Amino acid sequence: MLGRVNHIAIAVPDLAQATATYRDMLGARVSQPQALAEHGVTVVFVELENTKVELLEPLGADSPITAFLEKSPSGGMHHICYEVDDILAARDQLKASGLRVLGDGNPKIGAHGKPVLFLHPKDLNGTLVELEEV
């Protein structure tokens, strides 16, 4: 069911500073910031040969990243995203096996313009997992 790793997301307290670090110090290619109001985040993608790193900053007071940064003020790994061919089939199979899908269980459109779902970290060894349909 799982395809390749699409990206690893890192929550950051200062997106501009984190972007500059990846671009200027590490020499990485980075995208322009993209506000995703439905998800409560602003994101920048660090483009690598084999995958991407997504830098996440809270967008608004209700952002889920705010609570994460309260626990880890300097930031840290937030989630890992795997690609799937059919997100609805993956959701149904995972739910049938006992995994919990966050939210209302229906996909939302993610930063790449494709359907995404998140799986409960308590079901996956403490790791928040995002699935993205490719």
Q: What is the set of active-site residues?
A: 130
**How far, CA to CA in Å, does 58 sit from each of 4, 27, 47, 107?**
27, 25, 21, 21
What are residue 115's DSSP bridge partners? 109
Cα 111 to Cα 72: distance, rounded to the nearest angstrom: 24
The answer to whether 8 and 50 are in contact (CB under 8 A) is no
Q: Tell which residue, 114, 94, 113, has the closest CA to residue 105.
A: 94
